[in-house]
């Protein structure tokens, strides 16, 4: 996903900055990380308060198997509902949820 498309998706939130992160991209708004692009997939930040909204919308949480212990590790990033990619108003709602989760995390 190129930076122009990322900026377009987050227009409803405001201007974002994009930096290299984890071999992908970190997306920041007002100094707060709101999303990442990993292996070409855009994932939004969530927390205990917002994760149920993502789950109810059928989104997937980013997980991976830890190399040292072989256990499943869940990360605080979730996929975006497919419908939000084509609906700027819906994407703005999800982007705001991600921003609020980032603010609550203090990062």
Identify the band that residue 107 occupies on the pLDDT scale cut at 50, 70 and 90. Answer: low
Q: The pTM is what?
A: 0.91
> Considering only CA atoms, which of 32, 21, 25, 6 is closest in space to residue 100?
32
Fold of 3-106: Yope Regulator; Chain: A, (3.30.1460)
pLDDT tens digits along 36-68 = 999 899 999 999 999 999 999 999 999 998 888
**Beta strands 72-78 and 32-38, pairing class:** unpaired
What are the boundaries of each domain within the chain? 3-106
What's the first-to-final CA gap in the chain, in angstroms?
Answer: 24
Note the pLDDT of residue 23. 87
Give the three-class secondary structure for 60.
coil
List residues bridging with 37 in a β-sheet.
25, 42
């Amino acid at each position: 996903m190129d930076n122009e498309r990322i900026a377009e998706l987050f227009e409803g939130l405001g201007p974002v900055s994009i930096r290299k992160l984890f071999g992908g991209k970190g997306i920041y708004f007002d100094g707060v990380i709101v999303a990442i692009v990993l292996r070409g997939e855009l994932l939004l930040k969530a927390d205990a308060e917002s994760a149920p909204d993502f789950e109810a919308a059928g989104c997937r949480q980013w997980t991976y198997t830890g190399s040292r212990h072989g256990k499943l590790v869940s990360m605080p990033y979730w996929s975006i509902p497919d419908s939000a990619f084509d609906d700027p108003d819906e994407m703005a709602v999800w982007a705001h949820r991600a921003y609020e989760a980032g603010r609550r995390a203090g990062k």
